[in-house]
Amino acid sequence: MCQIAFNIPNEILYDTRQSEEEAIQFVRRSAALNYYVKRGVSLGYAAQIADMDKESFIKYLGENGISIFKFDNEAEFLEEVRNA
């Protein structure tokens, strides 16, 4: 596993009223969300980056308006609904 570290000014933690642990959680989840959406990283890997189980990460995606379902067109979506 690769570890990436960077500094956040203490003033950011003060202004956002976040603890160091909350800031770490925020950064991990933000990175995971962006890797999933913009880089096509799998749901499982994104959940690992976020330090969450898959179910919790799926809920987190939903809270951020991101669906795990990807359809190329409406016809594909409607066929999937009919087959459900």
pLDDT digits (tens, 9 = 90+) for 4-13: 999 999 999 9
Q: Quote the tokens at residue 29.
A: 């989840």
Residue 72 has pLDDT above 90, yes or no: no
Q: Which long-range contacts (CB under 8 A, 24 or more apart) does 21-28 make?
A: 25/51
Q: What is the pLDDT of residues 17-52, one digit of tens each?
A: 999 999 999 999 999 999 999 998 999 999 999 999
pTM of the model: 0.79
* Mean pLDDT, the chain, integer: 91
pLDDT recorded at residue 79: 79
Sign of CA dihedral 12, 25, 66, 31: positive
Which contacts of 63-71 are long-range, i.e. CB under 8 A and separated by 24 or more positions?
64/33, 66/33, 66/36, 66/37, 68/43
Statement: residue 73 has pLDDT above 90: no
Is residue 32 within 8 A of residue 46, CB to CB? The reply is: yes
